[in-house]
Structure 1
Amino acid sequence: MNKIKFVIIGAGNIGSKYVSLLNELPDSELIAVVDSNFGRRKFIDKLVPFFTSLEDFFTSKIQADVICICTPNGLHPSQTIDCLNAGYHVICEKPVALKADDVLKMMEAEKISGKKVFAVMQNRYSPVAIWLKKLMSLKLVGEIRLLQINCFWNRNNKYYNDSPWRATRELGGGPLYSQFSHFIDLMIWICGNPKEIRSEFFTLNKEINTQFQDSGIINFKLGKNGKGVFNFTNAAFETNIESSLTIIGSKGNVKVGGQYMEKLDFVNLEQVFEIPVFENVTKANNYTYYKGSADKHDVFLKKVIDCIKNNQEPEIGLADELNVIHFIEQAVLFAEAKSY
């Protein structure tokens, strides 16, 4: 099969990263870029056609296999559906949507089109996450008694001023969507779907003007008798502090920590289990003055290419991310109901 041909919509930070990665992968070819701001053409270090609207690209009839959606969060559902209807596979950056109903519409469009949607949750490919998934699949910690996740990050005024859409509910959504959906995805993937979600949202840094609150505490139940808590903030002083996941189980305890859940901090199990030394620590995506989640987009893109070449289903698809968006939506709705 020939190289998989890619188009990128959105030439911002993450879109530029896709340009670099696709240029390096032997089985991929970047054939076009779309961004409403023609001035961003200068950030694309490859001479390819540049369009200022998705409609103009469709009209061009340029042959492509996959469209990568790297635009503001709130645009993901409509653009995904448009691309599916036009006959393309889609890579959709996180979050795939800001509403569960929109994810369901995307799933319906995917089904009708016969094409595939690949949801970008690359943190699943970090060595520590893979090890922890295996540990939990083998039930080596027993029943989960307590799960605690801490995500303590920093997002300053420059982050929001550089791209004002990030501060809006309509296009940005807030920290659970923009920053911490990766860790919600890991939580559900590793520990299962939470139930009886209760939450409280609040703002710690009142000097930053956004349409949402920057911090919160989400309580929920897991399994038969397990309890969980998800603590988050974007108001840490100057830099990110940690993203950690701690499990207290009936047959063992484990903690994954670091700034991006890239380190194994603690493990104590009733049953002997291999505890590897993670020498190749997963790095974070570095966006000059702030850092994002795990830098595993290269692994993700290779898996997308293999999937398309072998006509396989996506490893991470819309059904997975429906669970993530549902969790966030329930937490938001509960917090808003409490405020009345």
Structure 2
Amino acid sequence: MKNFALIGAAGYIAPRHMKAIQETGNRLVAAMDKFDSVGVLDSYFPEADFFTEFERFERHLEKLRRQEAAVDYLSVCSPNYLHDSHIRFGLKMDADVICEKPLVLNPWNLDALQETERETGRKVFTILQLRHHPAIIALREKVAQSDKIHDVDLTYITARGHWYHSSWKGDESKSGGIATNIGIHFFDMLLWIFGGVKHNILHLHTHDRAAGYLELEKARVRWFLSIDAKTLPQAATKSGKSIYRSITVDSEALEFSEGFTDLHTESYRQILDGKGYGLDAARGSLELTYAIRNQPVSRRSGTPHPFL
């Protein structure tokens, strides 16, 4: 049984990490969040010590280390812009780190973290859960068997209210913007299946939507991301849905809506078995989303997504 600590216990994604720690037979000994709405701990680890101040959390982990009850892993579920700092904190506390995506916001931050890994002898792992989905694994294996260039459409709309823009998620300097905050796991999936980026064109980029065209080694990709409910297809709104997710490959839908709930647990299993995804695995999607965030919009080249 390994000892875990967790930063960001009040966040949306934290319960998936708590569940993964529990289902892999390990123990959460300490958690931290500046917000104290963390009753979810009672469902998983009511005995975990909880802190709302980072300094007291750090002191507690140091005390455990001196008592030979040190934390083996630090799970980072904090806001995107804090990941880099919290990862380095975990490494310097002599723990391996499991961090939600995006691992960091800028590609050069990965280089600095690799140096800290070498200095501490500890490792950083990221959650790339779609790589564990059976349907996606099967598609990757199929694509690898030929040199065909596939036509792919990615559409992901997840409606968000006005609160989103008042939170850190609405601040591009903290979240990385739409492409990073809601799209990075889909971009990682596409790169994992179809290979690296050969050409990248941005057709639209606002505070609530983005779209573009990618040429990968084995795919031509039209993509559209949005948090605006007005962009939902009519079929989705009629059925009362606030989320629309669609990926088509050569006009055939990729069905992967089932099986999402256990992918964090599978990610933890792989990490604990020494097979997790580290810093290098995250680089491709981070470089792509960084480029999207900083490149100019162009309507003069590339095939636009149908939603445009």
What TM bracket, shorter-length normalisation? 0.7 to 0.9
Provide Cα deviations, 1:2-56, integer angstroms capped at 9, x if missing partner.
x111111011222233223323432x1111111123x235442112222234443
For residue 114 of structure 2, the aligned residue among 100, 107, 112 is 107
Change (3 A) 1:5 1:104: same
* 2:19 aligned counterpart, secondary structure: helix
Corresponding position of 1:14: 13
* 1:324 aligned counterpart, secondary structure: helix
For residue 135 of structure 2, the aligned residue among 128, 131, 134 is 128
For residue 282 of structure 1, the aligned residue among 232, 236, 259 is 259
Provide Cα deviations, 1:191-225, integer angstroms capped at 9, x if missing partner.
0111221102244xxxxxxxxx222222232238x
Provide Cα deviations, 1:121-145, integer angstroms capped at 9, x if missing partner.
1111111111112112223xx3215
User: What is the Cα deviation at residue 336 of structure 1?
Assistant: 6.2
CA separation in 2, counterparts of 1:118 and 1:34? 20
CA separation in 1, counterparts of 2:176 and 2:270? 28
Native 8 Å contact 2:212 2:222 kept in 1: yes
4+ runs deviating over 4 angstroms: 158-161
Change (3 A) 1:36 1:337: farther
Native 8 Å contact 2:125 2:277 kept in 1: yes
CA separation in 1, counterparts of 2:126 and 2:6? 15
Change (3 A) 1:145 1:40: closer
Aligned residue pair count? 278
CA separation in 1, counterparts of 2:150 and 2:139? 17
Letter in 1 for 2:259: T
CA RMSD of aligned residues (A): 2.4
Greater helix content: 2
User: What is the Cα deviation at residue 160 of structure 1?
Assistant: 4.9
TM-score w.r.t. structure 2 length? 0.82
CA separation in 2, counterparts of 1:245 and 1:88? 41
Give yes or no for the alignment of 1:227 onto 2:243: no
For residue 91 of structure 1, the aligned residue among 85, 98, 103 is 98
CA separation in 1, counterparts of 2:76 and 2:21? 14
Change (3 A) 1:222 1:283: closer
Native 8 Å contact 1:152 1:243 kept in 2: no
Give yes or no for the alignment of 1:199 onto 2:198: no
User: What is the Cα deviation at residue 305 of structure 1?
Assistant: 1.9
User: What is the Cα deviation at residue 254 of structure 1?
Assistant: 5.0
Corresponding position of 1:298: 265
Provide Cα deviations, 1:210-250, integer angstroms capped at 9, x if missing partner.
xxx222222232238x533222222244611123142x4xx
User: What is the Cα deviation at residue 153 of structure 1?
Assistant: 2.7
User: What is the Cα deviation at residue 302 of structure 1?
Assistant: 1.5
Corresponding position of 1:56: 56
Corresponding position of 2:235: none
Corresponding position of 1:143: 148
Gaps of 5+ in 1: 204-212, 264-280, 285-294, 308-313
For residue 184 of structure 1, the aligned residue among 174, 182, 187 is 187
Give yes or no for the alignment of 1:35 onto 2:33: yes
Corresponding position of 1:170: 173
For residue 216 of structure 1, the aligned residue among 210, 232, 235 is 210
Identity, % of aligned positions: 23
* 1:40 aligned counterpart, secondary structure: coil
Change (3 A) 1:15 1:200: same
CA separation in 2, counterparts of 1:145 and 1:17? 33
TM-score w.r.t. structure 1 length? 0.74
Native 8 Å contact 2:202 2:295 kept in 1: yes
Letter in 2 for 1:80: I
* 1:124 aligned counterpart, secondary structure: helix
Give yes or no for the alignment of 1:328 onto 2:289: yes
Gaps of 5+ in 2: 65-69, 233-240, 300-308
Letter in 1 for 2:19: S
Letter in 2 for 1:239: S
Change (3 A) 1:43 1:32: same
Provide Cα deviations, 1:248-303, integer angstroms capped at 9, x if missing partner.
4xxxx75414xxxx16xxxxxxxxxxxxxxxxx3245xxxxxxxxxx511111122
